[in-house]
Amino acid sequence: MSATLPILYSFRRCPYAMRARLALAYSGIRTELREVALKNKPPELLALSPKATVPVLHLPDGIVLEESLDIMHWALGQQDPANWLKPADPALIAQNDGEFKYFLDRYKYADRYPDYPLAYYRQQGSKFLAILNGRLQQHAQLSSADFSLTDAAILPFVRQFAAVDPHWFQHSGYTALQQWLDNFLASEHFHTIMRKYPDWTAASEPQLFP
């Protein structure tokens, strides 16, 4: 394996790792992907990033990027053929990563948060879905007619929310949001980033992504 390739520590279903992979694949940046077993995190990851969460990108010059948005901005800074950065909406991404993620976690694992019933967490998270649906009624993507960093950063989290109760989501009335998510799930980008990789160990053969 070429020593010049960035190394990406990832976990297939993690929405933060998904959006990092999405930006890397879109930018055409080849990496060595190391799929992490979350219950048995490799010491190489822990040495790079003591916080031990994915994604982590180790660049050939030694720089370590430990946050998914930093990885996305780095990738798009290398190559951004469709101008994903131009219409991006940092405030909407921050709302996704803050309040919406807070209620998403509690909706997914309501049994761990018994202070309120599942329906309460869903109702609170749905406030953000309504905002997204309203935007998508105005134009095809969240920031404009064109797909952007905003869409790439938020889509994996909406996918996770929808998957908690697909029947409820399909009957929620958020038709524009449903179409936006369906388009993403049918896209080449999604299928590229969701390819399965074996868990990585120091003895593993290198795996290229994309």
Query: What is the three-class DSSP state of 94?
Result: helix
- The domains located in the chain, with CATH, are 7-82+191-209 (3.40.30.10), 90-187 (1.20.1050.10)
pLDDT values of the chain reduced to their tens digit, one per residue, 210 residues: 446 899 999 999 999 999 999 999 999 999 999 999 999 999 999 999 999 899 999 999 999 999 999 999 999 999 999 999 998 899 999 999 999 999 999 999 999 999 999 999 999 999 999 999 999 999 999 999 999 999 999 999 999 999 999 999 999 999 999 999 999 999 999 999 999 999 999 999 999 999
Cβ count near 19 (within 10 Å):
25
The residues facing 65 across adjacent strands are 57
Euclidean distance between CA atoms 63 and 78, whole angstroms: 15
The β-bridge relationship of strands 7-10 and 31-35 is parallel
Q: State residue 8's pLDDT score.
A: 98
* d(C-alpha 100, C-alpha 153), whole Å: 13
The predicted pLDDT at position 3 comes to 61
pLDDT at 87: 85
Strand, helix or coil for residue 59: coil
Distances from the Cα of 67 to the Cαs of 33, 58, 64, 125, 166, in angstroms? 16, 12, 9, 23, 29
